Chains A and B, each alone.
Chain A
């Protein structure tokens, strides 16, 4: 019995140490994120943006929009991309074997005309069936190709892209009007920058006019509210912190700007993985570090991309399952980096952190939940200690959420009402009443299925966001 007790005690200690280390990490990243925002908001001022526009000091950008069965949102999204404030850009939409009316909607809305598919194939991709150009928008190109997955569609779009920077976005995303100006600025200031990630914010509940978010309101769905907290924590704390250490491993697939030649040099997006966004970033790191070439991969807190988050459990679980499998797939593909000092802080710190505190986190948490009934059954459950520890972890989680929410209030476009703030405060507590546990379960499931379901995407059901047209 004493051996079992010792094991349980040691396990409890490991869990506590894990909890302490994880939260110390979050704390540090939270502070660094905030610090970077303080500086960033001043260095990229309005006059800098005005100078960029007025003097045409910029690098032209190709916006890449992979689309699979996006008939409900594709026209509004493309319209919003075409309305961006940027001197020179093109929009390349790739319908990746859509079986719905995605291409028909585009043909109708933008007066597309079929043109010969003449472009240089630097990256392999599934066969392109048709290529269109718009009679109304010279900077719109649409490809219709065989289904090959998101990575394959992005590779085809990179082939067609004619500008030195490419910006990968999701078909259901909206960009702030100045997002490209802000995202491309670091490429001008530092020739070593190869990729930039921006902030993603949930679109649900927002009022959208002419493809622009004009007003924020708390979505009615609690599931969406909980994700507002998650996105705030991930982007305002986590990524800004990693970027500070020059060890950013993820640039969200919903919005990232890359140097086209750099992406081509590493072979483009990896087909057959569900974590193609993270995989590409890790491969870029690896490529430059192995060649001892100077490079930078950065996160900037303010080009902002808006995306619709799932409002039903099935879609949310599918999405989180996919994200977690994507993480495992990337860690497995690049296992050579793990604890490898040859890759600097990437190998010694960032990749091991992602293994221990991201990939394995749901398993540790699940063990904690399993250990509880086990301890009760063995008669060694210490109720008072367990309750206090539970209260502490909930409070700490709420504190981290409120830190990120506090950063959100510094944005000009924030949730403006007092009741929104109170809803977010309530959400930071509610997430511990089943939401978190269900997602832990889903991520554990993803860990078990990672090799069986390699590259399987699943379906995303969209509720759709109402777009308004501005009054003439």
Chain B
């Protein structure tokens, strides 16, 4: 972890010191060349050299002094800020329990940090009250203003503050920042929106769905944002997946979030998952089958689709279908899994062996039988291996 205080100043100091040194080195090189071709007297060259040595001495002293002063000051500052922050936290906690507790008119920096940290930790009604305090005292407005700063470091710091604050007034600037040219700003803005929507389920989510569709965000960032939505995730995922011609990158992220985000067991999501299990894109098909398994989705329409996919041509689809067999009719699943234990792919055989114990005692019994009686040697090995792992507690 890095200190966020003093780094900017040090970067400026380094730029100045080394800028001067770089210039000095260039001048020295040119002077030396001039000396070789006889354009510069030897005495002048030595004078120049001594000047560069002196400059380097001064630079070294400046950098060294800066390091020592920074060491001492940052240590002192951290100690004192920690103590003051602790006092502010205690005051805000007291205010949470008793709203008549008087708060000072102005909040210094450590008070703002303590308040944002507390807001980050406290959920529910008290959390909302802290959010209201953040807005009422103009902290959110100040952060919003800094989020539009031209300095990247300041902008990122402010966006992080808004992510902690989770206040509705931050949404406008967050949507605006989705168009920022710096990727990390866009990613952090996405998180601000997701965290705020999670804190205020009544807020309009359709704008977020549109923003996700129209901005080129990486799948991982979209998936994380969906997971951060908490109870709001189900409807956003449902909206994303039900849109015609949803970009594959977005569909994949949404399917990956299904069953992992809270409250995604919506009818709309279930219908979308069934739809994607039959999708022509194999990656989406595989992701949908993983989602169905996570949701424990028992849709009759899935039986044929998943059982069929388990015998398909593409290895990774076959593997995901094999893992998803747990959601279909058990008798059929056991038959298909026995068959998949002798698949040509090591990964599919492993998936089949690992899925069997998840089907309860019949599955475990079949796995035990397979380890002894399966006609395929590789199937027997895999079943034996997974059984041993299960005994050691290593089975997934």
Interface residue A108 (Cβ < 8 Å from any Cβ of B): no
Decide: B59 and A412 in contact? CB cutoff 8 A.
no
Q: Which 10 A-B pairs have the closest CB atoms?
A: A188-B220, A41-B2, A42-B156, A55-B227, A138-B394, A120-B346, A57-B224, A118-B385, A395-B56, A27-B18
Decide: B227 and A56 in contact? CB cutoff 8 A.
yes
Decide: A135 and B156 in contact? CB cutoff 8 A.
no
Decide: B392 and A42 in contact? CB cutoff 8 A.
no
Closest A-chain residue to B191, C-beta based?
A51
A52-B224, A301-B2 given; name 18 further pairs at CB < 8 Å.
Answer: A27-B22, A40-B2, A41-B1, A47-B163, A51-B191, A55-B227, A57-B220, A116-B385, A138-B392, A138-B394, A178-B1, A190-B183, A388-B49, A399-B63, A406-B63, A410-B7, A411-B1, A411-B3
Decide: A43 and B156 in contact? CB cutoff 8 A.
yes
Decide: A398 and B8 in contact? CB cutoff 8 A.
no
B66, B224, B392: the one within 8 Å of A406 (CB): B66
User: Which residues of the partner chain B approach A402 to less than 8 Å between Cβ atoms?
Assistant: 60, 63-64, 67
How long is the Cα–Cα vector from A189 to B184 in the complex, in angstroms? 9
Pick from B9-17, B283-291, B301-309 the stretch touching chain A.
B9-17
How long is the Cα–Cα vector from A391 to B122 in the complex, in angstroms? 59
Interface residue B228 (Cβ < 8 Å from any Cβ of A): yes
Decide: A409 and B228 in contact? CB cutoff 8 A.
no
Residues of chain A in range 375-412 having any CB-CB distance to chain B below 8 Å:
384-385, 388-389, 391-392, 395-396, 398-399, 402-403, 405-407, 409-412
How long is the Cα–Cα vector from A23 to B26 in the complex, in angstroms? 11
User: Which residues of the partner chain A approach B59 to less than 8 Å between Cβ atoms?
Assistant: 399
A-B contact pairs, 9 of them (CB 8 A): A20-B29, A34-B14, A37-B2, A39-B156, A116-B388, A133-B394, A403-B63, A406-B67, A411-B2
How long is the Cα–Cα vector from A436 to B268 in the complex, in angstroms? 68
Interface residue B213 (Cβ < 8 Å from any Cβ of A): no
Residues of chain A in range 1-56 having any CB-CB distance to chain B below 8 Å:
9-10, 12-13, 16-17, 19-20, 23-24, 27-28, 30-31, 34-35, 37-43, 45-48, 51-52, 55-56
Interface residue B57 (Cβ < 8 Å from any Cβ of A): yes
Decide: A189 and B3 in contact? CB cutoff 8 A.
no
How long is the Cα–Cα vector from A388 to B261 in the complex, in angstroms? 67
Interface residue B314 (Cβ < 8 Å from any Cβ of A): no
Interface residue A172 (Cβ < 8 Å from any Cβ of B): no
How long is the Cα–Cα vector from A116 to B316 in the complex, in angstroms? 25
Decide: A391 and B53 in contact? CB cutoff 8 A.
yes
- A57 with B60: in contact, given A10-B36, A20-B28, A41-B4 (CB under 8 Å)? no
- A392 with B67: in contact, given A56-B227, A191-B220 (CB under 8 Å)? no
Q: How far is the CB of A40 from chain B (nearest CB, A)?
A: 7
Interface residue B243 (Cβ < 8 Å from any Cβ of A): no
Decide: B57 and A395 in contact? CB cutoff 8 A.
yes
B interface footprint on A104-138 (CB within 8 Å = 1, 0 otherwise):
00000000010110111000000000000111001
Decide: B11 and A35 in contact? CB cutoff 8 A.
yes
User: Which residues of the partner chain A approach B72 to less than 8 Å between Cβ atoms?
Assistant: 418
Q: Give how many A-B residue pairs fall within 8 Å (CB-CB).
A: 199
Interface residue B153 (Cβ < 8 Å from any Cβ of A): yes
Interface residue B94 (Cβ < 8 Å from any Cβ of A): no
Decide: A39 and B184 in contact? CB cutoff 8 A.
yes
A interface footprint on B20-59 (CB within 8 Å = 1, 0 otherwise):
0110011011001100100000000110011011001101
Interface residue B218 (Cβ < 8 Å from any Cβ of A): yes
Interface residue A344 (Cβ < 8 Å from any Cβ of B): no
How many chain B residues touch the partner (CB < 8 A)? 76
User: Which residues of the partner chain B approach A403 to less than 8 Å between Cβ atoms?
Assistant: 14, 18, 63
Q: How far is the CB of B340 from chain A (nearest CB, A)?
A: 16
How long is the Cα–Cα vector from A416 to B71 in the complex, in angstroms? 8
Interface residue A425 (Cβ < 8 Å from any Cβ of B): yes
Q: How far is the CB of B283 from chain A (nearest CB, A)?
A: 12
B29, B46, B385: the one within 8 Å of A16 (CB): B29
Interface residue A68 (Cβ < 8 Å from any Cβ of B): no
Interface residue A462 (Cβ < 8 Å from any Cβ of B): no
Residues of chain B in range 310-355 having any CB-CB distance to chain A below 8 Å:
346-347
B45, B66, B223, B394: the one within 8 Å of A57 (CB): B223
Decide: B7 and A38 in contact? CB cutoff 8 A.
yes
Decide: A388 and B53 in contact? CB cutoff 8 A.
yes
- A37 with B7: in contact, given A31-B18, A412-B2 (CB under 8 Å)? yes
Interface residue B231 (Cβ < 8 Å from any Cβ of A): no
Decide: B22 and A409 in contact? CB cutoff 8 A.
no
For chain A, give the interface size range. Answer: 35 or more
A57, A389, A398, A425: the one within 8 Å of B49 (CB): A389
A39, A113, A118, A389: the one within 8 Å of B152 (CB): A39
Decide: A302 and B388 in contact? CB cutoff 8 A.
no
B10, B22, B46, B392: the one within 8 Å of A133 (CB): B392
User: Which residues of the partner chain A approach B136 to less than 8 Å between Cβ atoms?
Assistant: none
Decide: B53 and A191 in contact? CB cutoff 8 A.
no
Closest A-chain residue to B68, C-beta based?
A421
Q: How far is the CB of A316 from chain B (nearest CB, A)?
A: 26
User: Which residues of the partner chain B approach A133 to less than 8 Å between Cβ atoms?
Assistant: 388-389, 392, 394
Decide: B68 and A410 in contact? CB cutoff 8 A.
no
Decide: B71 and A20 in contact? CB cutoff 8 A.
no
Interface residue A187 (Cβ < 8 Å from any Cβ of B): yes
Decide: A42 and B153 in contact? CB cutoff 8 A.
yes
A interface footprint on B360-396 (CB within 8 Å = 1, 0 otherwise):
0000000000000000000001101100110011100
User: Which residues of the partner chain A approach B60 to less than 8 Å between Cβ atoms?
Assistant: 395, 398-399, 402
Interface residue B280 (Cβ < 8 Å from any Cβ of A): no
B7, B56, B183, B184: the one within 8 Å of A399 (CB): B56
Interface residue B148 (Cβ < 8 Å from any Cβ of A): no
- A38 with B36: in contact, given A391-B53, A406-B63, A409-B67 (CB under 8 Å)? no
Interface residue B75 (Cβ < 8 Å from any Cβ of A): yes
How long is the Cα–Cα vector from A69 to B8 in the complex, in angstroms? 45
How long is the Cα–Cα vector from A52 to B15 in the complex, in angstroms? 35
Residues of chain A in range 210-246 having any CB-CB distance to chain B below 8 Å:
none
How long is the Cα–Cα vector from A118 to B266 in the complex, in angstroms? 40
Interface residue B239 (Cβ < 8 Å from any Cβ of A): no
How long is the Cα–Cα vector from A56 to B64 in the complex, in angstroms? 43
Most chain B CB inside 10 Å of its own CB: which residue of A113, A178, A391:
A391
User: Which residues of the partner chain A approach B71 to less than 8 Å between Cβ atoms?
Assistant: 409, 414, 418, 421
Closest A-chain residue to B346, C-beta based?
A120
Q: How far is the CB of A296 from chain B (nearest CB, A)?
A: 11
Closest B-chain residue to A389, C-beta based?
B49
How long is the Cα–Cα vector from A55 to B220 in the complex, in angstroms? 12
A34, A42, A398, A409: the one within 8 Å of B157 (CB): A42
Decide: A410 and B394 in contact? CB cutoff 8 A.
no
Decide: A118 and B221 in contact? CB cutoff 8 A.
no
Closest B-chain residue to A115, C-beta based?
B388
Closest B-chain residue to A34, C-beta based?
B11
Decide: A396 and B153 in contact? CB cutoff 8 A.
no
Interface residue B282 (Cβ < 8 Å from any Cβ of A): no
Interface residue B276 (Cβ < 8 Å from any Cβ of A): no
- A302 with B22: in contact, given A120-B347, A392-B56 (CB under 8 Å)? no
Closest A-chain residue to B120, C-beta based?
A47
B2, B28, B219, B261: the one within 8 Å of A191 (CB): B219
Decide: B2 and A189 in contact? CB cutoff 8 A.
no
Decide: A13 and B228 in contact? CB cutoff 8 A.
no
Q: How far is the CB of A261 from chain B (nearest CB, A)?
A: 11
User: Which residues of the partner chain A approach B388 to less than 8 Å between Cβ atoms?
Assistant: 115-116, 133
Q: How far is the CB of B316 from chain A (nearest CB, A)?
A: 11
A41, A116, A409: the one within 8 Å of B381 (CB): A116
User: Which residues of the partner chain B approach A47 to less than 8 Å between Cβ atoms?
Assistant: 120, 160, 163-164
How long is the Cα–Cα vector from A391 to B56 in the complex, in angstroms? 10
